[in-house]
Amino acid sequence: MAARLAAGEPWAPVATAPIRASALPGRTDSEIRSVVAALPGRGEDLAAFAALGERLALDGHRLITITGGASRIPAIVETRVPGVPFVLLGSDTGALAAVAMAGSPAVRPDALVLLAMPLLHVTVAGLPLEDPSPRILPDLPILLMHGADDEVSPLPLVRMTTRTARQADLEVLPGGHDLLTGPGRRCVAARTLLFLEELKAGTSVPAQMALAPYTSPIV
């Protein structure tokens, strides 16, 4: 599976019976229910996103992995599909990058999914200088998923971060910091899918698309 993955490539499972390959990667833009731009974290293998991308594809949600620093923004913008929710999903330092990019007038995500987010007030080794470390969460629909036994970003401190974010939902999962490959990995896929379906059901056109460019609270 890892050999088939490239940055910027939509996920599609191997064609096996009972799944038809054409039903997954072959969807036209008019059949896509949402677009998820995934930002990997420190040293994270892109193959870690395989199971999540395959599960979302089954229900018509497109996940595309984007690598790099601030230079990711043009590639992220190109993944948008008009008229469907556009979500940034970040893991580890990718979650911090997603929060930082939420304030970009060019990106304007409709929602964020943040996996194992490092603490906002702590400088994280390995975070590219192009992605300034955010201080607070933006006022967007946000799904945070965090391991109950995360030793890198202790859960009680992350929970405190969410108290001022009125649209943030914190989901505590089994395991530690590595959510995509740990014991809670199936919960990640299931909860992300539910979040996307709720976002899609909210309005026919995502609210952020109808608003003025989002003003970042990041200082």
**What residue type is 36 in one-letter code?**
V
CB environment 47-77: b (16+ within 10 A), e (fewer): ebbbbbbbbbbeebbbbbbbbbeeebbeebe
Percentage of residues of the chain with pLDDT beyond 70 = 71
Tokens at 169, concatenated: 């939902």
Looking at residue 213, what is its pLDDT? Answer: 33
Tell me the pLDDT band of 204, cut-offs 50, 70 and 90. Answer: very low
Q: Categorize the per-residue pLDDT at 172 as very low, low, confident or very high, splitting at 50, 70 and 90.
A: very high
What pLDDT, in 10s, does the model give residues 64-98?
999 876 578 888 999 999 999 999 999 998 998 89
Alpha-carbon distance of 38 to 17, in angstroms, equals 28
CB contact set of 187 (below 8 Å; sequence gap of 6+): 145, 171, 173, 174
Check residue 160 and give its pLDDT. 85
Distance, CA of 213 to CA of 114 (rounded, Å): 21
